[in-house]
Amino acid sequence: MTVRYGLIGAGMMGQEHLRNLALIEGAEVTALADPDEGTRTASTALAGPAAKAFSDYKEMLSADLCDAYMIVGPNDLHHAMMTDALATGKPILCEKPLCTTSRDCRDLVAKAHGCAPVWVAMEYRYMPSSQRLLADLEAGRAGKLHMVSIREHRYPFLDKVGDWNRFNARTGGTMVEKCCHFWDLMRLITRSDPVRVYASAAMNVNHADERYGGKQPDIIDNGYVIVDFENGTRGMMDLCMFAEAATWQEIITVTGNRARLETRVPRPGRFEPDGIEREAEYAVADRASLRETVETVHVDDTLLKAGDHHGSTFFQHRGFFEMVRSGKGTPAVTLEDGLWSVLTGEAAEMSAREDRAVTLSELK
């Protein structure tokens, strides 16, 4: 059975999705919509001859050419796009963040009740190194978990059409736009919901000399965040978006009473001076033996070249594809998961700007 996809939004991330869908036998892109002509033209060429292009996504939905839809537009448009796509009764894969505010997320949770399944795109769950860590946690290798630390030292926000990603109003803020991935991972790892957030963050380096309609960007480019979870586990996020020279873009560390488990993920190959894709590492530091073992985590080069997320976009798509094709199962990342990731980021934004700890109950 062929699954026909329609993309709502076909910019940079949309094109990564197109490259990965092309690797899945039985997946076919039959429609895409984007208001920008240049983006639309480039993405249509990438999607293949079966894809019909639309400038208005509502016209695409009315044409009813697809079995499933993907929401890949700017963050602040997700709520409206999702509302319209839900009405089709077709399964949906929605890019992160689900919405820019927890209020809009809650509205979608309510609207989606009884509808076709919605899967929220949280690529970082599907990195092979993350999967390795999660499997070892499940097996009890770390023992009783107490601490989770995630460091992302990376390049600044990339240029996008209209540079919509420079402003909190359109993105939800860096702690929502970028870090929702990591709040989702922390919640998945700890198997607990966050209860309190304290953040110290600022915009110190990036985009300071840019102006859009006379307005200066206000997006955070670095910060530290502490998250307390209901079960007593604690998490820490260390973000820097002007550290593009770092070898390891993401380092995810979980520490229990038996061992420390750590994944180390390199920056995308297109940001390497030589253009070569590097492999991730996975390390286990065992308390009993006082030894740390380190091994590489191999990812097929074809998958590495298909996007910036170390193969995870492909593995995520494979799960969504099988769910749609079989007509069985439930999304691995639910609307409620998407809501929690936005809620935590919203609390971190509030904490950083108000210089205080924020309890999640304030935002519920």
pLDDT of residue 3: 98
Strand-pair partners of 120: 94
Q: Which domains does the chain have, with CATH numbers?
A: 3-124+318-334 (3.40.50.720), 125-307+340-363 (3.30.360.10)
**Tens digit of each residue's pLDDT (9 = 90 or more) over 169-187:** 999 999 999 999 999 999 9
What percent of the chain clears pLDDT 90, i.e. is strictly above it?
A: 92
Q: Which of 129, 33, 75 is nearest to 342 (CA)?
A: 75
pLDDT band at 218 (very low <50, low <70, confident <90, very high): very high
Mean pLDDT of 190-214: 96
Mean pLDDT of 3-10: 97
**Tens digit of each residue's pLDDT (9 = 90 or more) over 272-302:** 889 888 999 999 999 999 999 999 999 999 9
pLDDT band at 350 (very low <50, low <70, confident <90, very high): very high
Residue 22 has pLDDT above 90, yes or no: yes
Give the position of tokens 């009473």: 257
**Tens digit of each residue's pLDDT (9 = 90 or more) over 43-98:** 999 999 999 999 999 999 999 999 999 999 999 999 999 999 999 999 999 999 99
Q: What is the three-class DSSP state of 26?
A: coil
Give the position of tokens 């993309």: 7
Q: Given phi > 0 = left and psi -120 to 50 = alpha, else beta, which region is 214? A: left
Q: Angle, nearest 10°, between helix axes 180-190 and 335-354? A: 110
pLDDT of residue 276: 87
Judge contact between 109 and 339, C-beta under 8 A: yes
